[in-house]
Amino acid sequence: MHKPTTQDTTPNGAVFLDRDGTIIREVGYLSRLDEIELLPGAAEAILKLNCQRIPVILITNQSGVARGKITEEFVKQSHLLLNRLLARENAHIDDFFYCPHHPEVGNAQYRKICTCRKPAPGLLLQAAGKHSLDLERSFVIGDKLIDVKMAQEVNARGILVKTGYGNDELKLTETSGVSPDQVCSDISEAVDWILKIREDNF
């Protein structure tokens, strides 16, 4: 396994996480902070990545902003709270990236075809630029095939978890043309698979 040192300039891979249905309970359009509930095992799984010094970055579509259901400030506050909840288990997410847009509906300010709405890889590219990441050595964990497709757009590995919408999305793999690199029951199983892959290959 490749072990970074303080002198090592090789770009690191990261683990990118979807939010709703992957690390927190799926509630539709999250609009209240008291709706945020970590899924079982999520904090422990993220802590495993933290202990290996693997960057953990959240990538989420938040079209509720465009639809006028929530504000960007609410999205930011929800992510601050999420990290406070994780901190209770000594875990943390290193950075957060979100897309507030929708291509067809909502407020004019946010109604646009953008490069950051999943499955477009714009947020991955933003994160890679900011943190000097090697996307081809990275992984994306999510409960939708758009997460998998986004990963594969940049030659990262896409993992579909069966939490959230995952079971329904799994049924669409044959007709969607999108095939996950791995299917896991939840984030805990996904992280264990990632750590095994890294040990064997990096």
Instruction: List the catalytic residues.
Output: 18, 20
* CA distance linking residue 142 with residue 78, whole number of Å: 18
Largest CA distance in the chain: 48
Cα Rg for the chain, rounded, in angstroms?
Answer: 16
Give the C-alpha distances (Å, rounded to integers) separating 120 from 125, 139, 151, 193, 199.
Answer: 10, 15, 9, 25, 29
What letter does residue 33 receive in the DSSP assignment?
Answer: G
* CA distance linking residue 188 with residue 198, whole number of Å: 16
* CA distance linking residue 136 with residue 142, whole number of Å: 17
Contact 30, 71 (CB under 8 A): no
